Structure 1
Amino acid sequence: MLSSSERHEPGTGRRRFGRRRTGNYGSVPDLLKTLVVLGARGDMTGRLLLPALVRLAGAGQLPAEMQVVAMDRDAGDDDAYRDHARQKLDAHLPDRDEKATEAFLERLSYRQADVTSADALRKALDGLASPMAVYLALPNVLFRPTLEALSEAGLPPHATLVVEKPFGTDLDDAKELNALIARSFDERDVFRIDHFLAKQTVLDVLGLRFANRIFEPVWNSEHISRVDITWYESLGLEGRANYYDRAGALRDMIQNHLLQMLALVAMDPPRSITDRDLRDRKVEALRAVVPPKPEEMAKATRRARYTAGTVGGKDLPAYADAEGVDPSRGTETYAEVTFRVSNWRWGGTPFRLRTGKAIGQERREIAVYFKTVPHEPFDDRDRADVLRFTLSPDAISLELNLNGEGDPFDLERVTLDSEFPTQELPPYALLLKEIAEGDPTLSIRGDEAEELWRIVEPVLQAWERDEVPLEEYPAGSGGPKGAKATPQRAAGRGTAAGDDPRSG
């Protein structure tokens, strides 16, 4: 068993991969004076942004003079919105620091504005201090009219724009949004954020690959047979039908998050972990990703949606029967695509990305399967080594073949694993800190956003033409037949149940 206590104990000054900051999070420079949140009463603000801001306040990580100005079309004043914020914090951050909460609420104010109206925004933004960041905590469909209104209203020089992914609804839409943003913002001042990139284990892919000599010589198709990136969750719609039924699993997770993980696994070593070098390498990796050919779609992709079932003792209606769902859309809740990375390093190694909702056994991991040895002198066929990056809880494990107990000539499976304590700042709080510091390293560059859509668009089109059947699986099951929703990894001897670790 590998211990992580010494490497990750708070206060030991964990290395930051050569970026401009080292050690534990220090004081934040007073860069950002005003954070404007458009969509103040929306789900994203209440569920994610307000808790993240309070976390930062509790950690002493908010710039000293920064004010948070919430905007929405509903009438209201500062006191009413602060009461609203307290209710959301009670629901989504019940264990918060009350002193930090009250200190944060003193910074929080409210202004009524129709965010799609240039005149309303101009009036609402008047008098706010710079430097300023404008956070679009809005549904994707409001991005375009809001960006047009911001462009017409005018913003202070070098204002920062923050938009959530998914960025656009397809490749053409992403290109048009990028062109619209370029009218008013420099690319370095644009943060297209993906909270998956701030997860500790995702970032640990960089540390393991580029700070340890033993992995890079074998990090290629000569030694790696396949890579599986899996995100199975037990949750159903959870009130998100208005968004999810227009997106589906492919747009919501594979285009939006899992391809980011693929890029970190597949990229070549950057010169440094800074915004330009890291994002250049990620884009290079994504440009090499090849979607399945038309004749391969039925074999290389799968889509399905859940029927009625029981998850964790809770009865869940069929997706098609859920409130707000239009069954005629054929929206998938399970998506699986096998991509190829067409370059010297990865030629011949498949990358399988899969995600599903209402799965009985949650599974969130990046699994790297190494090839078996060229000659195996033991009687039993050896099994491939597997390196797993497990997300939620954060851990890394390595499955190996070692001489077993008793007869030393019998092989047994051993898992060496390291679990990580909770990172100091949760993903959204870390991203907000990066925004406050003007550091876009963990944000998505414009050309990268377009590449992500370029990769999935042929699959989307094939599914829209019904070239791949829409399968079904009961809620609470392991997904469609063959999906193997199994435990992420084994502890000690043994291996992850249900996953054949032999080379694929």
Structure 2
Amino acid sequence: MDELRTLVILGAEGDLARRLLLPGMATCLAAGVPGRGLTVVGAGRQDHPDFPATVREAFESALDARGMGRPAVRETLDSARWATADATDPEDLARLLEHAEGPVGLYFALPPSVTVAACRALRELHGQDRLPADVVLVLEKPFGTDLDSARELNALLAGFVPEEQVFRVDHFLGQPGVLGFVGLRFANRILEPLWNRDHIERIEIVFDETLGLEGRAGFYDATGAARDMMQSHLLQVMALVMMDPPTRFDGVEIPANTAHVLRATRLWPARQEGSGGMPSVVRGRYTAGAVGGRELPNYADEEGVDPDRGTETFAQVVLEVDSWRWNGVPVVLRSGKAIGSPRQEITVVFRRPPHDYEQFPSAEPLPTDVLRVGFEDERIGLELNAGGPFDPRGMTRTALSAELPQPALTAYGSVLRWVLEGKRAFTVRGDGAEEGWRILAEIADAYASGRVPLLDYAAGSSGPV
């Protein structure tokens, strides 16, 4: 597939384009991908004559003067334009495509229901032989709203566009720590031989944040922590961390291997032990408190919140990947808002040595080795045991840590780089998206059963568990 010449952002008037997509595009262009300018077309139902200025402001938020001066950045800024169009109208879409230099990418910065309607309009154009054969579709999460709708959307897409021209993107897969984890595991001989149930006791993937609702009640109160953070983001990261080694790092092997992990994933069985006594599902909602010097009100009192919905701002689940490699290893996924001491990292806890070493002073039992990788700062830490019975200091604990240089691309910059270059290794395969909804349905069933109460936790605390 040739590099894209034009990127049309459907729904470009929204927050996603302004805050994330356009700044990410700026970092991508400044890094030399592509080496030439890209035509950016914003599209929406209402006129937006200031769109070129919006693009420039977003670029300036991400780049310094040197970056803004790069030829590809200048060319893109000069070519940015707005097109008033209804993404669900076949004729409007046809006009957009006719006036765009190909290959064209359509980025769906739209709600799921509008995305489905837009895809139906594109299918209609395909049936009239008016859809360019090389058009690329870039679909944001959430992909559908539940398992059935995800299956229907996959079937719809398969009817008019080849799978290799569909990018189901998740910007968490573009986080520096997640991308670095792949090299950490597969480019060294130290970790991969230990990457199984015989040597790993548990895995934790945590994304706690200090932010509260921040005026997003319209979206968040109808969504909640599990649907927002676990259905796609944390499950996709888990699948990448726990996948079998690919034979090739390409758009076939990695999406297939991550989909296989999700297919084997289920809630931690109550009959098993080993999750540290944690229940398989916990949910909570923050109450009034202080976080980082800011006073947050009770979530239920926030403007736009319907307290009767019982929306959770904290979710923690314990999962098991029931495969030959991972059976019996608890995987903890956790995300919470208004957390006082947030963690945003992948943690791998290794099993203790098989011998008790009772002669080691103050080491009963021996602490476990722990590997930590930060999502955004790409901080890598390894906690190990040292010393011993012949060391006058006795048994000691040591931590090796390093912070890798900050990447030139934001997470969305990485996503757009893959789209522009046609590289699908870190996209989500259709059945992988469906499996995310299946797992979420298990969590929702646990909520509905009455076994998982909505716990209160004060804003600024560590959460309900």
Match of 1:247 in 2: 223
Q: CA deviation at 1:294?
A: 8.4
- Give yes or no for the alignment of 1:105 onto 2:89: no
- Give yes or no for the alignment of 1:124 onto 2:93: no
Show structure 1 runs of 5+ residues with no match: 1-28, 483-504
Deviations 1:400-426 (CA, angstroms, capped at 9, x unpaired): 011179953611110011211101222
Match of 2:62 in 1: 93
Q: State the AA in 2 paired with 1:117.
A: D
- Give yes or no for the alignment of 1:378 onto 2:351: no
1:231 to 196, 207, 210: 207
- Give yes or no for the alignment of 1:201 onto 2:185: no
Q: Cα–Cα, structure 1 residues 263 and 120, in superposed 2: closer, same or farther, change >3 Å?
A: same
- Give yes or no for the alignment of 1:71 onto 2:32: no
Match of 1:39 in 2: 11
Contact 2:37/2:75 (8 A) holds in 1: no
Q: CA deviation at 1:87?
A: 4.4
Number of aligned residue pairs: give it: 450
Higher mean C-alpha deviation, range 291-300 or range 123-132: 291-300
Mapping of 1:399-418 within 5 angstroms? 399-403=383-387, 407-408=391-392, 410-418=394-402
Deviations 1:142-180 (CA, angstroms, capped at 9, x unpaired): 211222222224421021000111211211111111112
Higher mean C-alpha deviation, range 208-217 or range 337-346: 208-217
User: Distance between the aligned counterparts of 1:369 and 1:295, measured in 2?
Assistant: 22
Partner of 1:203: helix, strand, or coil?
helix
Q: Cα–Cα, structure 1 residues 204 and 58, in superposed 2: closer, same or farther, change >3 Å?
A: closer
Partner of 1:299: helix, strand, or coil?
coil
Q: CA deviation at 1:56?
A: 2.3
Q: CA deviation at 1:295?
A: 8.9
Q: CA deviation at 1:280?
A: 1.8
- Give yes or no for the alignment of 1:50 onto 2:22: yes
- Give yes or no for the alignment of 1:460 onto 2:429: no
Match of 2:240 in 1: 264
Mapping of 1:154-303 within 5 angstroms? 154=126, 155-292=131-268, 299-303=279-283
Q: Cα–Cα, structure 1 residues 353 and 68, in superposed 2: closer, same or farther, change >3 Å?
A: same
Q: CA deviation at 1:216?
A: 2.2
Q: CA deviation at 1:461?
A: 2.2
Q: CA deviation at 1:30?
A: 6.4
Contact 2:253/2:425 (8 A) holds in 1: no
Q: State the AA in 2 paired with 1:219.
A: W
- Give yes or no for the alignment of 1:149 onto 2:121: yes
Contact 2:204/2:348 (8 A) holds in 1: yes
Contact 2:291/2:338 (8 A) holds in 1: yes
Q: Cα–Cα, structure 1 residues 104 and 406, in superposed 2: closer, same or farther, change >3 Å?
A: farther
TM-score, with normalisation over the residues of structure 2?
0.91
Match of 2:371 in 1: 387
Show structure 2 runs of 5+ residues with no match: none
Deviations 1:448-497 (CA, angstroms, capped at 9, x unpaired): 111111122111122134331011111111111x3xxxxxxxxxxxxxxx
1:367 to 337, 347, 358: 347
- Give yes or no for the alignment of 1:448 onto 2:428: no
Deviations 1:358-385 (CA, angstroms, capped at 9, x unpaired): 1011211111111111221413222111
User: Distance between the aligned counterparts of 2:68 and 2:299, measured in 1?
Assistant: 39
User: Distance between the aligned counterparts of 2:402 and 2:457, measured in 1?
Assistant: 34
Contact 2:112/2:143 (8 A) holds in 1: yes
Mapping of 1:489-500 within 5 angstroms? none
Contact 2:37/2:74 (8 A) holds in 1: no
Q: State the AA in 1 paired with 2:78.
A: E
Partner of 1:443: helix, strand, or coil?
coil
Contact 2:212/2:337 (8 A) holds in 1: yes
Q: State the AA in 2 paired with 1:264.
A: L
- Give yes or no for the alignment of 1:318 onto 2:289: no
Contact 1:434/1:440 (8 A) holds in 2: yes
Contact 1:32/1:63 (8 A) holds in 2: no
Q: Cα–Cα, structure 1 residues 149 and 466, in superposed 2: closer, same or farther, change >3 Å?
A: farther
TM-score, with normalisation over the residues of structure 1?
0.84
Q: Cα–Cα, structure 1 residues 219 and 88, in superposed 2: closer, same or farther, change >3 Å?
A: closer
Contact 1:54/1:104 (8 A) holds in 2: no
Higher mean C-alpha deviation, range 166-175 or range 396-405: 396-405
Q: State the AA in 2 paired with 1:379.
A: P
- Give yes or no for the alignment of 1:420 onto 2:404: yes
Deviations 1:21-73 (CA, angstroms, capped at 9, x unpaired): xxxxxxxx962121111011100000011111222232232352531111011
1:472 to 442, 456, 464: 456
Higher mean C-alpha deviation, range 328-337 or range 294-303: 294-303
Higher mean C-alpha deviation, range 134-143 or range 148-157: 148-157
Q: Please tell me the root mean square deviation across aligned C-alpha atoms, in Å.
A: 2.3
Partner of 1:110: helix, strand, or coil?
strand
Higher mean C-alpha deviation, range 57-66 or range 150-159: 57-66
Q: State the AA in 2 paired with 1:119.
A: E
Q: State the AA in 2 paired with 1:360.
A: G
Q: State the AA in 2 paired with 1:417.
A: S
Q: Cα–Cα, structure 1 residues 464 and 144, in superposed 2: closer, same or farther, change >3 Å?
A: farther
